[in-house]
Structure 1
Amino acid sequence: MLARSVLADSPLAVALPEGLSPRTVGFYLAQDKGYFTAAGVAVTLTAPSGDRRSLDTLVQKKVDLAVELMPIALKRREAGERIVHVAQIFRKAGMEVVCRPTIDQPADLKNHVVGVWFGGLESAFYAWISGLSLNPFGGPGSVTVLRQNYGLEAFQRLQSDCATTFSYAAPLEFAAADIPLQGLKQYRYQEIGQATLEDGLYAREADLAKPDRVAAFAAFLDAARRGWQLAHVSPKTAFDLLHADPKFASVDPAVLRQAIDAVDDLLALDQGPMGKLDPDAYDRTVNLLLTAAPDPVLTRAPAGAVSDVVVKAAR
């Protein structure tokens, strides 16, 4: 890895999936505590607006790195975008289905409406339903699939009996909707064994052939690890940073702490430093994307979609 003096405060723009939130707080802690500067990189954190994704700015060369869900990234790569996974942020998956209390076991999904995310994120659901020997195509005795937007609007309007969300988003979303999360049934794809990998760090393929870029990316990863480790050992520090933001100032502290704890669970830092990709989790993700949906997310196994050059260069 290049020394800090050689990096000379390399400028890096990094697109996160959203602004300051429990999902991203480790990156913002690294910025707030000066860890990026200490590592020799001048980092600008950005977030997409509207319905844009963090990868949009990466492929448009407006940023140098992006954090994104793996199914979205692999779908984009198959479509021709030369992006490569260089580090895994979340070791475990947080996507889940939250259902009304009457659905107290998965088999009870029959004859109910389930809100499902599409656009590359539907594979885990179809694998789950297939494993339950349920028909996901509607009609008597089957599960009716509702294409769900992010948020709980359909669930609130009683248009669906279950909503897709993330473990870290659910406490905030249901509290904002004034729906007690306690008593609802939560089905985590990670626990079911049908999870696809979520937040990872992505770079443009061409940049990985440049030693100075790889060194800067590794320095970013080093500093980001410190930020997330701080959130792990001192959740109050993460809470204080979030609670000081106007967006979270009025959130029930217990709810915000629940969201922070949920993210920490996904990082699973007690199992090792953030960044290394679990090959078994990757293979499971690819297999689900190839086989688990009526219209598969991927049509062929990815080639060259992951690289460990940045993780190896990190300390």
Structure 2
Amino acid sequence: MLQVSPEIGTWLTRRSGKAGDWTTRELVAAKRGTTVSVVIPARNEEATVGAIVAAIRDDLLGTLVDEILVVDSHSTDATAEVAAAAGAAVVAQDSVFPMLEGLPGKGEALWKGVAATSGDLVVFVDGDLYDFTTDYVTGLLGPLLTDPSVAYVKGFYHRPLGTEADGGGRVTELVARPLLNMFWPELAGFVQPLAGEYAGRRDVLESIPFVANYGVEIGHLIDLLELRGLDALAQVDLGHRAHRHQSTQALGRMSGQIMQTLFDRLERYGRLVTAVPPSTLLAQFRRGTSPGVDREIVLTDLTSPQRPPLNSLALRDIA
């Protein structure tokens, strides 16, 4: 029978938990002056973001959580208004560090969210969750508030897709997991390496770069493994996650961004040096919109710019 390495087996036992392992009362007692910020990146999430903010506001704000910030990532709907009405502070993504040219992407929103908050601990929650409960927040905070050696906590969960109980997470299973097992097998124990729900200590988050697009999560894991070691990372079972699924073509673009990030880290940490860097162009095809054209080619530039560690910036002028 195949078995994981002793290191991974020990880590899984030592650094894996469940959201129910900690009660809110226990965590409030463990805070001891530590402040907590919840950052929610949101783009066109008016249907879901309000309920997420309201749940955190009603259950945790003022006791376990000190601030809730929604980073509006160029929404064209009422995301900002709904989030504010539910009780969150809201900032437009490009209004943070306005002297910098804005970059598109989820990672940019997360980086700006860290910059615009002040909590000692920062919890990230995606804004498109249908079944959110505040166990997500308490579960992610559990290891950080009760074990000072833990620097960063990833969530994991069952991810349904249609009638399949665990059919979600297609990019994880087809792209991220195989590549991590090949090049960073130390990270093979993470159930959901691309999970959008995670938390970290501010000094840790400010010490690492943020890839501006969907490569941000895999970049975090690799950078923190290299800088802090595996034992500084933990994961918590958050139960179940239902959210808006993206199209296959959108997942292809996301996969390309993740692969670009991983190849960047391979060179950065000397694990693989290529004579010819990988192309950043992705060619995809869609049904033709012109008479007589069955397929049209669509080119996407997958270049993955990244923001530097926040602690490297000389200017913290937030508008």
TM-score range, shorter chain: under 0.3
Q: Which has the higher contact order (CA 8 A, sep 6+)?
A: 1
